Amino acid sequence: MGFLKSHGPAAARTQHERRSLETQIAPMDRQIDQLVDELYGMTPEEIRIVEGTDTGPRGAADAAMSEGMA
């Protein structure tokens, strides 16, 4: 069983415990994302596209497409 399955927010017994775990996990998740971005030499534009935060015309089209695929 993976760490997040046994220790992650879904394993929390109370709402407070869940929020606490999410608060602890969020910074680590962002750090992992940054390390992966650096590893692959991604540009800020590529990062926005991958994260789905690209607000340009292409980003809006991509967002609309992925909503239709979900």
Q: Average pLDDT, stretch 12-21?
A: 90
Segment 26-48, tens digit of pLDDT: 999 999 999 999 999 999 999 99
Q: What are the angstrom distances between the C-alpha of 29 and each of 22, 35, 67?
A: 10, 10, 24
> Where residue 11 falls among pLDDT bands split at 50, 70, 90?
confident
Query: Cβ(54)–Cβ(42) under 8 Å?
Result: no
Cα–Cα dist 53/19, whole Å: 24
Distance CA 16, CA 20 (A): 6
pTM of the model: 0.56
